[in-house]
Structure 1
Amino acid sequence: MFVVSLNYKVPLTEIDRLGPVHVEWLKACYAEGIFVASGPKRPRTGGIIIARGPRDVLDARLADDPFARAGAADYNVTEFTAKMTVAQLDAFKEL
């Protein structure tokens, strides 16, 4: 699994302008089964995505994010092995 940390590089007005197409991109990634959870950071300096699947697929999808295409955010990807989860997330455990 992966934790993706987005850091905004542009004013929030630009992030808000790109927001609707970014949300559509997020929905597509969820439909493909790549994303597990996502949301904005507090304070609103970027976002966090929990993802799964092959790294090359994730990298390709991140490159297609409207924020990435507009140069509005940087992405830091950290891979981890989920050894323990709450019962609701048992399907994501990696043995």
Structure 2
Amino acid sequence: MHEKIAHYQQRLQEIQTNIDTTSNNQLYNELREETKDLAATLAAQIILQKDCNSPLHLLIQSSKSKDDLASHIRKKWLLHKKDFE
């Protein structure tokens, strides 16, 4: 997790130091996806530490979308859940 956060901070610095708007747009899009991934990973770990009645667990159960944050959390939770079993 520390590696992901360090990588995320590095990406933020790239955006701050890069003047080229076209490159920044690409970096923003990549950072948006990385943000979604990092948030999903953190939320999945919270679900694993809490019971299945947590609001996050209820959120991933009620989500029907395949591309929203809840679906990304669900994927991460299922992936990490296997590691704990």
Higher helix fraction (1 or 2): 2
TM-score, normalised by the number of residues in structure 1? 0.27
Higher strand fraction (1 or 2): 1
CA radius of gyration, larger in:
2
TM-score, normalised by the number of residues in structure 2? 0.29
